[in-house]
Amino acid sequence: KAGVTQTPRYLIKTRGQQVTLSCSPISGHRSVSWYQQTPGQGLQFLFEYFSETQRNKGNFPGRFSGRQFSNSRSEMNVSTLELGDSALYLCASSLDRGNEKLFFGSGTQLSVL
């Protein structure tokens, strides 16, 4: 069974631009979560989607948004990029909500210049 796939693997953008990251969960998994990893802050929760609905949202500005499609694939979007948005963005999927093991993708490394 294929793991969680995130595309692209690397991305370079400039301040003010917007970016869309993509995540394909493990087949059959219905819950997708997004995390931001930076050296100073560790992994921080962005949002969780289940059945195409955002179920939880972390403490990030409105420039960060996401969505989930009917096939459970998910995208996250960051608008008006800032230098501080440079980070590794990790997507994780699980079979369902609740005490389900999270499976992480390898992430998208975003650099904002």
Partner 1 sequence: DQQVKQNSPSLSVQEGRISILNCDYTNSMFDYFLWYKKYPAEGPTFLISISSIKDKNEDGRFTVFLNKSAKHLSLHIVPSQPGDSAVYFCAASENGGSQGNLIFGKGTKLSVKP
Query: How far, in Å, CA of 22 to CA of 103, rounded?
Result: 15
Smallest distance from the beta carbon of 64 to partner 1, in angstroms? Answer: 15
Among 13, 65, 86, 104, binds partner 1 (CB under 8 A): 104
Among 22, 58, 65, 75, binds partner 1 (CB under 8 A): 58
CA dihedral 32, 106, 59, 17 (to 10 degrees): -110
56 binds partner 1 (CB under 8 A): yes
Query: How far, in Å, CA of 65 to CA of 19, rounded?
Result: 11
Q: Provide the mask over 13-52, with x wherever binding to partner 1 is found by CB under 8 A and - wherever it is not.
A: ------------------x-x-x-----xxxxx--x-x--
60 binds partner 1 (CB under 8 A): no
102 binds partner 1 (CB under 8 A): yes
Among 24, 68, 107, 110, binds partner 1 (CB under 8 A): 107
Residue 1 burial class via C-beta count within 10 angstroms: exposed 0-12, middle 13-18, buried 19 and up: exposed
